[in-house]
A and B are shown apart, each in its own frame.
Chain A
Amino acid sequence: QQQVKQSPQSLIVQKGGIPIINCAYENTAFDYFPWYQQFPGKGPALLIAIRPDVSEKKEGRFTISFNKSAKQFSLHIMDSQPGDSATYFCAAERGGSEKLVFGKGTKLTVNP
């Protein structure tokens, strides 16, 4: 049973484009939604995170949009750069569990 569904599996954009990665969940007990960024040969690193009491959170060029009623959240990367080329994972945590459930990942390529 896949608890967090992530799409697309891969994404190619031109420099300056705005890639969007989407995630959906079913479990309403989830109350924390982080995004992790992973470069080749490295472990994932926390990029940005949101709680369901806000609909949007922005950090630099990265924005999370959250739709609680639809149980969906998405990552937008503004003015994307070749250095943003990486694999992105969405995740969800059930309140108090301290464990994350990850999506399957999106491989983003930003062409120069």
Chain B
Amino acid sequence: DVKVTQSSRYLVKRTGEKVFLECVQDMDHENMFWYRQDPGLGLRLIYFSYDVKMKEKGDIPEGYSVSREKKERFSLILESASTNQTSMYLCASSGGGGSNQPQHFGDGTRLSIL
């Protein structure tokens, strides 16, 4: 089974801090994704990476950056955290190499910015 592991289930940070969310997948997947999930808004794509060191903005990239130095690891960075970034963050991976590949999700990091 594919396993996508997010380093923290819960995280509390302060406004203005630099925050790192880490995600690791164990299936040698090409693609990795970061989403945020908010009640009534569904899942919204923040950033997408289709290869090491490659990234593409999603629908809501403002205030976020990402890093993918190794194939299995994809990091989401909040450069200067703000209260409106309090949310559930979900990481996912997929096999790549064409369309219609299922995305496999981690169990999420619930981030609170105080």
Indicate whether A and B interact.
Answer: yes
Which one of B40, B48, B104, B106 lies within 8 Å of A99 (CB-CB)? B48
Q: CB of A56 within 8 A of chain B?
A: no
Q: Is the CB of B103 within 8 A of A46?
A: yes
Task: Provide the residues of chain A in CB contact with B74, threshold 8 Å.
Answer: none
Q: CB of B45 within 8 A of chain A?
A: yes
Task: Provide the residues of chain B in CB contact with A42, threshold 8 Å.
Answer: 107-108
| Interface size classification for chain B | 20 to 34
Q: Is the CB of B107 within 8 A of A41?
A: yes
Are A34 and B102 also in contact (CB < 8 A) when A43-B4, A43-B92, A104-B41 are?
Answer: yes
- Nearest-neighbor residue (CB-CB) of A39 within chain B: B107
Number of A-B contacts (CB under 8 A): 57
State the Cβ distance, A40 to closest chain B Cβ, in Å. Answer: 11
Q: CB of A112 within 8 A of chain B?
A: no
Q: CB of A44 within 8 A of chain B?
A: yes
Task: Provide the residues of chain A in CB contact with B94, threshold 8 Å.
Answer: 98
- Nearest-neighbor residue (CB-CB) of B40 within chain A: A104
Task: Provide the residues of chain B in CB contact with A76, threshold 8 Å.
Answer: none
Q: CB of A96 within 8 A of chain B?
A: yes
Task: Provide the residues of chain B in CB contact with A9, threshold 8 Å.
Answer: 40
Q: How far is the CA of A44 from the CA of B107 in the complex (A)?
A: 8
Task: Provide the residues of chain A in CB contact with B98, threshold 8 Å.
Answer: 96, 98
Which one of B41, B99, B104, B108 lies within 8 Å of A98 (CB-CB)? B99
Task: Provide the residues of chain A in CB contact with B58, threshold 8 Å.
Answer: 99
B50-93: which have CB < 8 Å to A?
Answer: 50, 58, 90, 92
Q: Please name 18 further chain A to chain B contacts, defined as beta carbons within 8 Å, in addition to the given A89-B43, A96-B99, A99-B33, sorted by A numbering.
A: A32-B99, A32-B100, A41-B107, A43-B90, A43-B105, A43-B106, A46-B102, A46-B104, A93-B99, A95-B99, A96-B98, A98-B94, A98-B98, A98-B101, A99-B45, A99-B48, A103-B42, A104-B41
9 closest cross-chain pairs (CB), A and B: A43-B105, A104-B42, A102-B43, A46-B102, A32-B100, A102-B42, A43-B107, A105-B42, A44-B105
